[in-house]
Amino acid sequence: MKTEVKICGLTKPEDIDAALAAGADWIGFVFFAKSPRSLSVARAAELASPARGRVGIVALTVDAQDDLIEEIARDLKPDFIQLHGSETPERATEIRSRFGLRALKALGIGERADLDRASLYAGHVERLLLDARPPKGATRPGGNGASFDWRLLEDFAPGMPWFLSGGLNGDNIGAALAATRASAVDVSSGVERAPGEKDPAEIARFVAAVRAHDARRGDAKDARPAAKAAPVAAA
């Protein structure tokens, strides 16, 4: 099965071109003033135009007020709104109902107990995103280039699709996928040359590494039945 890839925090036309050329499945735009990747809704809508219908579009917000969400829904028309703050399950449902948006809730993970929150959002959002819990003093809830202990995800089954995020890059994504068996991944700082400055070569390398993992996984699945059948054939 193909692993979905989301490239988040895009700010320039060349970022969009790179994500599309690499074969990403999702692109994300950030609407949070404290992020070096933040941009206006009008600019995001302009950037998203050539990608619409080719990849999914995600709008990342952090405890956003209704006027911003309304502007996003009206002008960007994203496939998902990513709730990356302290939004409650009830707030997520309100946003979905009032603005007609599908919701993706980000959870900060630092210990196994943090995963227990996932069940609270069942029926309130369509997807989850698991990011590293931000360090003390951080001004942003995500995009800090930090990962969490992937072993915490052993037997994690929230009953809805989820993205793995947090400190991923072209060097560690293969190990991350092997450890977590995530069906979707999200990257931002891991494909940048500087905060907010995407590197097209790193975007391509990241997606290629994901596809290489998919190919290895497919080869392994294909090999298992053949290995079981070998003794019968030898007989």
Residues forming the active site: 8, 131
Structure tokens at 115: 């995963």
Are the C-beta atoms of residues 126 and 104 closer than 8 Å to each other?
yes
- What's the start-to-end Cα distance of the chain, in Å? 34
Relative to beta strand 4-8, strand 184-187 is: parallel
The CA distances from residue 205 to 172, 185, 186, 192, 216, in Å, are 11, 14, 14, 12, 16
Q: Which two tokens stand for residue 208?
A: 């290629």
Question: How many CB atoms lie under 10 A from the CB of residue 169?
Answer: 18
Distance CA 123, CA 2 (A): 25
Task: Give dist(CA 36, CA 24) in Å, integer.
Answer: 22
CB 170 within 8 A of CB 191: yes
Q: What are phi and psi of 188, to 5 degrees?
A: -140, -75
**What DSSP character marks residue 111?**
S
